[in-house]
Chains A and B, each alone.
Chain A
Amino acid sequence: MSEKNDILVQVDHLTKYFGIKGVKGPGVQAVEDVSLFIKRGETLGLVGESGCGKTTLGRTILQLHEPTSGTIVYDGQTIYQHEYPFEAKNVQVKGKDGAMHEQSVLVKKPVPRAKAVDMLPYRRKMQIIFQDPSASLDPRMTVGEIIGEALDIHKLCSTKKDRTDRIKELLSMVGLNTEHANRYPHEFSGGQQQRVGIARALAVRPEFIVCDEPISALDVSIQSQVVNMLEDMQQDLGLTYLFIAHDLSVVRHISNRIGVMYLGTLVELAESYELNKNPIHPYTKTLLSAVPVPDPEVSRTRQRIVLEGDIPSPMNPPTGCRFHTRCPYATEKCKEAVPQLKEHAPGHWAACHLLG
């Protein structure tokens, strides 16, 4: 890994379980033991199928969800640290055939509570852009109020004039008319609403923005406008992005490095170009081959790996490697042991037993 001060966000063994009322055990295991770092000024893309935990990971890093365990370090400051509160125990379970057999289940164990960190100063540095702009803007507030609220919470503007000037500046930054500050969200198109969402995130002059599928709700011809704007903002303001999307072609376009998630775990992480040229994890290979290419010649000739079956439930994930139920190369070992993320080439990490 590179020098310490280059790393803006570092996440170690981050886990997020959503407990279910009336169900013993961990519940939905949305994010399982994810470790990664994000360098200052880069864009880390995160891809995976729906339900793989990529959004949960993004929100957990921001602590919009309280993590279950792990460590989050932001710019050298530990903002979250907690011990893993479960342990594996072998218990006797009645199988389908009626006989009792041993099965490993997660049981809660007592651990000290996580130390509370005041997040408000960090919220100024970490922001988020949401997927659905119409759902993430308050319909009863004008655009000016929506953007101004962020300024008020962090007390960034001393005078009223400062505040209105800053709101106007933000609106023009995202390519909206400054006179639109008095309009309500419903008066804008989807693409414009997303621009308001971006202006709101930028209002507090953040360093790090989680872009949670910011373009998937937009029309094709509008998507590229927003992608270009996000790139310009990054250049001008020196932002660091965690870019979450299910569309691999967009992620590949905008990211420096890409992480691929499957069922809560990070299975591969590499430079954007490297990941596309030499994917080494079987899941990444299938994901890449499944993306339709807008080129009839290419789609006629290329070989596609089609996965059988569906993504398993994160409530009851498969043992060992979580991908083994759909992996064409799965062995006995994959069913038993959890593969660890290892560096197979410089900067190219993958978690698969087959790679040794």
Chain B
Amino acid sequence: MEQNQKTGKLLEVKDLHVSFFTPAGEVKAVGGISYDLNYDEVMGIVGESGSGKSVEAYSIIGLLQSPGKVVGGSITLEGEDVLAKSKEEMIALRGSKVAMIFQNPMTCLNPVYTIGNQLIEALKAHDKKVSKEEASKRAMEMLELVGINNVAKRMKQYPHELSGGMRQRVMIAMGLICHPQLLIADEPTTALDVTIQAQILELMKDLQKKTHMGIIFITHNLGVVAEICDKVSVMYAGKMVEQGPVDDIFYKPGHPYTMGLLRSMPRVDAESYERLIPIEGTPVDMLNPPEGCPFAPRCEYAMKICLQKMPPYVELGENHRSACWLRVQEQMEREKQGAAEQKEVPDHE
């Protein structure tokens, strides 16, 4: 299924706001995030549960459920405005251009239909003219592509007859059967064992190389991010606190939350015993988020201004930006110094 390689911008999200209107009040699950994703690129979204990483992905594919609502911003996929599309257009878009795979394959596969049946259904939903034989042939090819053997037998099996890793492979096959440009993977390996996780990650890397699609990979496991992603967005309480190429995030983190996450994880290849440095405090109550930077109550560097105003983004390098007052301060000092030096130069002459 080699495709013509496209380059450039695949997805552009601008200042996206998503809110849930609950009886207890408005929960701003996503509070203004922006990023773009190119073809042939894997972006990781990291964050704790409740940080809005899944909600953000659901709004791209139009699966946001009531009482959730996109209240601002834009999502542009291949030049088309996703949010302006009608229900029918969204149905046509889902599966054919954007596909999604979920955390728990057991709850996402229909237990009363065979694997083959479900794969063919996905294909027929977007291509009504395809014949039965053609559809089942393509379904079997797809299953082979995701590394399932004994395909003819598997087509007739039900989800409960397969193991967890196998089911996740079926989910991936189903997602890719219409050759989408964008794949959203919402914690696809979290429910799996490490050895099976390794299999699935290898498979996704391999498929990505073959198809050149863009992948948004949502996870809370930084190890997985290091493994598969080209760039990373770190989310905290609905805000994107840091964004950048994977190496920058791991080696030159600019936000205290990112630093804290990296420090608090034990590493399997650590040379000696080191006590973990946890991030103190508890995650934010999204019903009553703090004013200013949401991370400030847990941040060891928090200043007065952090509790009052949300910091703007500061460019820390190429495509690497972070929202933290510390970095703003540093930048201002640099500018001051630069200005002072510029002034000094003519004085000496």
CB within 8 Å for A295 and B276 given contacts A248-B268, A287-B195, A290-B194: no
Residue of B nearest to A52 (CB): B193
CB within 8 Å for A252 and B268 given contacts A292-B197, A294-B250, A306-B199: yes
Q: Which residues A252-270 have CB closer than 8 A to chain B? A: 252-253
CB within 8 Å for A223 and B166 given contacts A286-B195, A295-B226, A295-B250: no
Please state if A310 and B278 are interface contacts (CB–CB under 8 Å): no
Interface pairs (30), CB distance under 8 Å: A49-B193, A49-B195, A50-B193, A220-B220, A221-B48, A221-B260, A221-B264, A221-B279, A223-B264, A228-B275, A231-B275, A248-B268, A249-B265, A249-B266, A252-B266, A252-B270, A290-B198, A292-B197, A292-B201, A292-B221, A293-B223, A293-B269, A294-B225, A294-B226, A294-B250, A294-B262, A296-B226, A296-B246, A299-B226, A310-B196
Taking CB atoms, residues of chain B closer than 8 Å to A225 are 278-280
**Interface residue range, chain A:** 35 or more
B165 at interface, CB cutoff 8 A: yes
A219, A246, A286, A296: the one contacting B49 at CB < 8 Å is A219
Q: Which residues B169-209 have CB closer than 8 A to chain A? A: 193-199, 201-202
Please state if A293 and B267 are interface contacts (CB–CB under 8 Å): yes
A219, A228, A246, A306: the one contacting B283 at CB < 8 Å is A219
Please state if B268 and A291 are interface contacts (CB–CB under 8 Å): yes
Q: Which residues A76-132 have CB closer than 8 A to chain B? A: none
Taking CB atoms, residues of chain B closer than 8 Å to A253 are 266, 270, 273, 276
Please state if B283 and A293 are interface contacts (CB–CB under 8 Å): no
Taking CB atoms, residues of chain A closer than 8 Å to B224 are 292
Taking CB atoms, residues of chain A closer than 8 Å to B282 are 189, 191-192, 222
Residue of A nearest to B223 (CB): A292
Taking CB atoms, residues of chain A closer than 8 Å to B273 are 253
Taking CB atoms, residues of chain A closer than 8 Å to B201 are 292
Name the distance in Å between B328's Cβ and chain A's nearest Cβ.
24
Taking CB atoms, residues of chain B closer than 8 Å to A223 are 264, 278
Residue of B nearest to A227 (CB): B276
Taking CB atoms, residues of chain A closer than 8 Å to B269 are 276, 293, 295, 298
- In the bound complex, what is the Cα–Cα distance between A295 and B269 (angstroms)? 10
A233 at interface, CB cutoff 8 A: no
A220, A249, A286, A311: the one contacting B261 at CB < 8 Å is A220
Please state if B283 and A189 are interface contacts (CB–CB under 8 Å): yes
- In the bound complex, what is the Cα–Cα distance between A354 and B277 (angstroms)? 41
A11 at interface, CB cutoff 8 A: no
Taking CB atoms, residues of chain B closer than 8 Å to A221 are 48, 260-261, 264, 278-279, 283
Taking CB atoms, residues of chain A closer than 8 Å to B220 are 219-220
Residue of A nearest to B222 (CB): A294
B223, B246, B280: the one contacting A291 at CB < 8 Å is B223
A182 at interface, CB cutoff 8 A: no
